[in-house]
Amino acid sequence: MSFEGSSSAALAEQRVDARGVLAVRRRAGRTRIERLVQEGAAKIRLPESAGDPLEAVLINTAGGLTGGDRLSWTVSVGDEAHAMLTTQACEKLYRSSGGEAASTITLDVGAGASLAWLPQETIQYNGSAFRRTIVANLAPGARCLLVEATLFGRLAMGESVERGLFRDRWRVFSGGHLVHAEDFALGPDVSSRLAGLATTGGATAIATVLALRDDVEDLVDPARAIIGDRGGASAWRIGETGKFLARIIAEDGYGLRRRLVPLLQMLNGSAGLPKVWSI
């Protein structure tokens, strides 16, 4: 199995090339849709809501991603507007016959606005190859909550990931200044790398949670009480921007959710979690 480049056979096969765009603005006292674009397998649905935040559910109708697939989401939240986005289900990364699947997420949050990016978990299967890029641009005074959780196989189903590629790149800007950057790369020997103490010590479920807001110092102690000793949480000030960062590791998806759900509920306040998280 090759994880480099794309074979001619793979290029000849049908591949996902999907794009979803959602722009919202505050009008008449609440957040409303300004622009919605759906192309290919990318669909966006908006459950009924009595008020803010506007809730949107992102759907990949292809049912997963494999080598050569491309999926992009672009979200813009106007000044003083409030939005919460999630996915209909876990995104599944299937075995690649050549090349990488790629997901690109672009988020723009206006002054005084808030965005909660709360997708459900990404599940990597053995032999898959995946690259994700997240770029977020926040105006001064904007608030943002970002989470990405990943399961390397599903322990309850007897699945494990021996080989594959997983690459995750985050770039977050506030007021035009870079406030968070990280690059996580794993593979091709996934299981042996996860076994290392510098990664997860054999745990196969991980989550990263990032919050940019004013009161980050107040979040650390309650977050650490939820996370326990399998992860951590810290807060900083970068110029005028408050930054909270948490990591969680667990043996499986159930163990991860047991701590991730209350952490996100605490961080997202009265908005809580998207409806689909409880289905």
pLDDT tens digits along 61-91: 999 999 999 999 999 999 999 999 999 999 9
> If residue 191 lies in a helix (H) or strand (E), which one and from where to where?
helix 190-195
| Average pLDDT of the segment spanning 243-269 | 96
The whole-angstrom separation of Cα 34 and Cα 226 is 37
Taking residues 218-243, report their average pLDDT: 96
Query: Is the whole-model pTM more than 0.85?
Result: yes
Amino acid identity of 213? Answer: R
- What end-to-end distance do the CA atoms of the chain give, in Å? 37
Q: What pLDDT, in 10s, does the model give residues 4-32?
A: 444 444 445 678 899 999 999 999 999 99
In this prediction, residue 7 carries a pLDDT of 46
Could you tell me the maximum CA-CA distance found in the chain, to the nearest angstrom?
56
**Is pLDDT larger for residue 274 or for residue 12?**
274
pLDDT at 68: 95
- SS3 at position 118: coil
Give the pLDDT mean for 121-138.
97
| Span 226-253, average pLDDT | 96
Please report the pLDDT score of residue 5 as a whole number: 44
Task: Calculate the average pLDDT of the chain.
Answer: 92
Pick the more confident residue, 209 or 277.
209
